């Protein structure tokens, strides 16, 4: 009997073409996929709390209400910090813009002396329109109001996913597709482990950053501590995203030495904690190598936008559960992306 299987090259070509179509669709529907994935991750994170309440005899509806209320409370608290700090930052912007122009002019003079062309860069700096800079920053801050619509959508998703008993659905799925159900349970367990490790490290780093920034007199230390906590979920390069705003403010408020001191603190606390120590725990918890996590960061940031960088690891785990864990023939993919097993 003749072998009717398709040539391997054709299978690979069709697979790549399908992947391009799926990724393109994800980019187009990122406005929907991102909040759904974020809500799913949050529900997975708080599910053990709901289960523990039910084991203690708390009615299911009361456990759901308590869990949703707790999640909503955290989101509202984060929102209040961002809104209040953003309003304060808007008040400080005019003074900072003028100070920024002075620093740029000084830097231009230094570079002019180095290049031997006095006045060339100074003229470029003086041509900067301060009013335009202020209007651009104001528009950026005003654009934060557009998050309100997405936030309402996210809160609704959290409510619906919390009310919907996903455990019962997985139990039903196990009867017909035990392999798929087991892969999804594995995804939930690994995602929860990743969130626990990242949250514990993030809280410790955020507290240290907030205390250091407050001691150095950097404005809005609580906001930058919160930013440090959030960017801790961005693998490998998150500390750079959290470093830029406080370093710039320290430069504008206190000068270059204070800005260098802020950078030194972030290198010691954030870089060492987030980029060197944390991956050893997080990688073992989720089974992703550091390289795979970094590639996932770039890919999901490109597909889903800035929030995709925060969800890079959970999104990769979900794709792995759906495409790799359910198929024993795809185990070679897991061998390429998983964290190496320590021996000894």
Cα–Cα distance between 173 and 179 in angstroms, integer?
9
Estimate the crossing angle of helix 166-176 against helix 178-215, to 10 degrees: 150
Tokens matching residue 40: 């799913």
| Alpha carbons within 13 A on the beta-carbon side of 27 | 11
Q: Confirm if 231 and 239 have CB atoms less than 8 A apart.
A: yes
Q: Confirm if 226 and 248 have CB atoms less than 8 A apart.
A: no
Cα–Cα distance between 55 and 231 in angstroms, integer?
35
The predicted pLDDT at position 145 comes to 45
Neighbours of 134 (CB within 10 A): 15
> Cα–chain-centroid distance for residue 129?
34
Q: Where are the domains of the chain?
A: 28-164, 166-344
| Alpha carbons within 13 A on the beta-carbon side of 326 | 17
The predicted pLDDT at position 84 comes to 75
The predicted pLDDT at position 140 comes to 47
Read off the pLDDT of residues 5-63 as tens digits, 9 standing for 90 and up: 677 778 778 888 988 999 999 999 988 888 888 888 888 888 888 778 888 888 877 87
Positions in the chain whose pLDDT score sits under 50: 1-3, 134, 137, 140-148, 343-344
């Amino acid at each position: 009997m003749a072998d009717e299987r398709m040539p391997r090259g054709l299978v690979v070509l069709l697979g790549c073409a399908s992947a391009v179509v799926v990724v393109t669709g994800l980019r187009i529907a990122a406005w929907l996929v991102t909040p759904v994935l974020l809500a799913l991750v949050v529900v997975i994170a708080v599910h053990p709390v709901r289960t523990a309440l039910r084991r203690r005899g708390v009615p299911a509806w009361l456990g759901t209400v308590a869990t949703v209320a707790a999640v909503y409370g955290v989101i509202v608290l984060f929102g209040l910090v961002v809104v209040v700090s953003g309003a304060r930052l808007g008040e400080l912007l005019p003074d900072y813009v003028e100070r920024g122009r002075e620093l740029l002019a000084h830097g231009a003079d230094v570079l002019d002396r180095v290049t031997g062309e006095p006045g060339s860069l100074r003229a470029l700096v003086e041509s900067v329109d301060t009013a335009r800079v202020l209007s651009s920053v104001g528009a950026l801050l005003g654009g934060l109001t557009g998050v309100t619509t997405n936030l309402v959508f996210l809160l609704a998703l959290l409510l619906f996913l919390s009310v919907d008993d996903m455990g019962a659905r997985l139990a039903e799925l196990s009867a017909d597709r035990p392999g798929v159900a087991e892969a999804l349970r594995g995804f939930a367990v690994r995602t929860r482990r990743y969130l626990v490790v990242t949250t514990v490290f993030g809280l410790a780093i955020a507290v240290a950053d907030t205390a250091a920034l407050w001691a150095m007199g950097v404005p809005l230390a609580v906001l930058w501590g919160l930013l440090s906590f959030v960017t801790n979920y961005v693998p490998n390069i998150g500390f750079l995203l959290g470093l830029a705003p406080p370093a710039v403010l320290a430069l504008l408020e206190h000068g270059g030495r204070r800005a260098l001191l802020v950078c030194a603190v972030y290198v010691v606390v954030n870089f060492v904690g987030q980029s060197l120590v944390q991956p050893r725990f997080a990688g073992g918890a989720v089974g992703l190598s550091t390289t795979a996590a970094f590639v996932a960061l770039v890919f999901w940031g490109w597909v889903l936008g800035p929030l995709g960088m925060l969800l890079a690891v959970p999104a990769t785990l979900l794709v792995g559960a759906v495409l790799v864990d359910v198929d024993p023939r795809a185990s070679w993919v897991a061998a390429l992306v998983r964290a190496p097993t320590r021996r000894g």
